Amino acid sequence: MTTTETQPAATASEFGKIYLEYRSVFIQRACRYVRDEHIASDIVADSFMAFWENRFVLPADTNVPAYVYATVRNRCLNHLRNQSLRLRIEQKMHSDQCRLVDADIASLTACDPDKLFEDEIFEILRDTMSKLPARTRQIYLRSRLDDRSYEEIARELGISVSLVDKEISRSLHELRHALKDYVKLAIPLIYYLLRY
């Protein structure tokens, strides 16, 4: 066995004295860098522990305070590098989130609910109208698209006003049922189509 394996760099009593003498000084120095007394205290405690665990593999003439302080310094550097990396990642994430929020704001600002559902509404309208009987469809279209009164439609088709009213009611009932999910959106197109 070599002398470094049999003689530790410091005995327990020597280590205890060094610990009491330098602990608070090392914490103050570490705190200047890490700016947190609890973290500084942990770094110093870990550094003293690292020395104690390695005392048999270090040369017997090792300057214990210098060794421990070098360990404190290295651990402070590691802590600051990790903190810097974490802050850069957080900043990038924050920047990415800001860009996403800005894109969502722009998208919502440009979004016109009337246009968003217009194609779907027209498809449902065409489908529902195609299923109506021809006369019912004709009466409804004259009322809504040609803007004719019930009396004008009755006169043009040679039917009673009450029959026009009945056919319009039938059309509205079918359309309201087909567009029930869109009525809640209060889209002006639907209001126009389903008025009365």
Question: Does one domain contain both 10 and 103?
Answer: yes
Q: Are residues 77 and 34 both part of a single domain? A: yes
Domain match, 95 and 27 both: yes
Q: Is the pLDDT of residue 23 over 90?
A: yes
Q: CA–CA distance from 14 to each of 2, 3, 65, 127 (Å)?
A: 21, 18, 11, 94
Residues 73, 38 share a domain: yes
* Alpha carbon distances (Å) from 104 to 35, 114, 153, 172, 185: 38, 19, 49, 37, 21
Cut 0.85: pTM above it: no
Q: Which domain holds residue 74?
A: 3-108
Contact between residue 148 and residue 141 where contact means Cβ atoms under 8 Å apart: no
Indicate whether 45 and 102 sit together in one domain: yes
**39/102 same-domain check:** yes
pLDDT in tens, 64-122: 999 999 999 999 999 999 999 999 999 998 888 888 888 888 877 776 666 666 777 77
Interval 163-184: pLDDT, tens: 989 998 898 888 888 877 766 6
